[in-house]
Amino acid sequence: MSDLASLTNSGPKQQRIARPERPERRQARAGMVLFAPALVLLILILIVPVGVAALLSFTDYTLGRPSIDWVGLRNYIDIFTGSSYRKMIVATVLYVALVVPASVFLGLGAALLIRSLNVGQSFYKTVYFLPVMASLLAMAIVWEFALHPTLGIVNRTLAMGCGTPLELWSWFARSCVDGFPLWLGDRDYALYTLAFIGIWQSFGFNMVLYLAGLTSVPTELYGAAAMDGVKRGWERFRLITWPMLGPTTVFVVTITMIRSFQVFDTVEALTHGGPAKSTYVMIYAIYEKGIAQNLVGLGAAITILFLAFVMLISVAQRRFVERKVHYQ
């Protein structure tokens, strides 16, 4: 028994000296070396600035003032108690909640429709992708003209509907009498109008992602489904297309969410957060407080809050992916 123990104890030890290093080890070390520059850069341009912002968010720092005072959680308390900050959260969340589902499902729908076309696929792809390629700031000016309360093409077109059966719709009838909405100038409509522009702008991008996702669905599966008795398009979608697009959907939803959290250009160009702070979204608030009004500490606090939201989405996405979505 003790013989056996000594044998097994000494055996591997002697071998270990002679045995060459395992290739996995060597590869792992090479990997570390190659990965180091990226890690350094990541720390320098991402982690450190976020850390600085986090520190600043507990101060009343403003650019140019020599002294900095530690204010603790006051910036955060301001955010959660001040009414304009509450409006900021509401506007941001509402914007995201409107833009994400609409642009994801429109993107999917457009992709499916385009795929089913025999001719004109590239024409429709181009048309739907144009808003993505166009500069949103330039497009914002076009929208501003189109949505002008009296001269804009939108309200003028709507006004042509007065006196037609469209007036059966009570909202329409009322608008014919009281005038059509001011859109960007009306606190009840401004955010929805911005969301509409956001959807218009981003669904083409989602469509392209879905088109790419659709090409990776093996066509043989549709044949198998047909043999298995699947006839209707909806069943085919439920059995194959939708599950197979799972990874694409997770990616599309995440990226659309993060992009719509970051909405800024249309707000800056069209509404400046107004009217009555109804379109006062987060990035615009960061810009206004931190840069325009030089309240760097407050701006930093909103930034940290923003990062927390984005982080939450990423974590939720990872969780969801691991649990539900099928990856091949």
Partner 1 sequence: MATIQFRDIRKSFGDTDVLKGVGLDIADGEFLSLVGPSGCGKSTLLRILAGLESQTSGSVRIGGTPVDGLHAADRDLAMVFQSYALYPHLSVAENIAVPLTMRRLSNAQRLPLIGRALPGSRTTRAAIGTTVREAAEMLDIAHLLDRKPGQLSGGQRQRVALGRALVRDPSAFLLDEPLSNLDAKMRVHMRAEIAQLNRKLGATFVYVTHDQAEAMTMSDRIAVMMEGELLQVGTPDALYDHPEDIRVAQFIGSPAINILPVDTDASGTIRLCDMATGLRASGPPIEHLGVRPEAFVPCEEGELVVGRVRMIENLGSDLFVHLDAAGVPMPVTVRLPSSARGRIKVRDVMRLTATPARICGFDSAGKAAPVSAHDKAHDKAHDTAHDKVARHV
Interaction site with partner 1 (CB under 8 A): 218, 220-221, 223-231, 235, 239-240, 243-244, 246, 326, 328
Q: Which two tokens stand for residue 136?
A: 């949103």
Cβ proximity to partner 1: between 31 and 223 the closer is 223
Three-class SS of residue 154? helix
Cβ proximity to partner 1: between 236 and 259 the closer is 236
Smallest separation, CB 246 to partner 1 (Å): 7
Contact 311, 122 (CB under 8 A): no
Three-class SS of residue 70? strand
In DSSP terms, 70 is beta-bridged to 59
DSSP state at residue 52: H
Q: Which two tokens stand for residue 211?
A: 């088109």
CB proximity list for 324: less than 8 A, separation 6 or greater: 246
Three-class SS of residue 118? coil
Q: Which two tokens stand for residue 28?
A: 């792992």
Smallest separation, CB 38 to partner 1 (Å): 30
Smallest separation, CB 227 to partner 1 (Å): 5
The single-letter code of the amino acid at 123 is: F
CA 148/CA 179 separation, integer angstroms: 13
Smallest separation, CB 328 to partner 1 (Å): 6
Smallest separation, CB 94 to partner 1 (Å): 29
Smallest separation, CB 327 to partner 1 (Å): 9
Contact 282, 88 (CB under 8 A): yes
Q: Which two tokens stand for residue 149?
A: 């309360």
Cβ proximity to partner 1: between 65 and 238 the closer is 238
Contact 251, 209 (CB under 8 A): yes
Cβ proximity to partner 1: between 2 and 219 the closer is 219
CA 203/CA 125 separation, integer angstroms: 11
Cβ proximity to partner 1: between 25 and 231 the closer is 231
Cβ proximity to partner 1: between 319 and 324 the closer is 324
Q: Calculate helix-pair angle for 296-323, 48-56, nearest 10 degrees.
A: 130
Smallest separation, CB 214 to partner 1 (Å): 15
Contact 208, 129 (CB under 8 A): yes
Smallest separation, CB 320 to partner 1 (Å): 15
CA 213/CA 252 separation, integer angstroms: 10
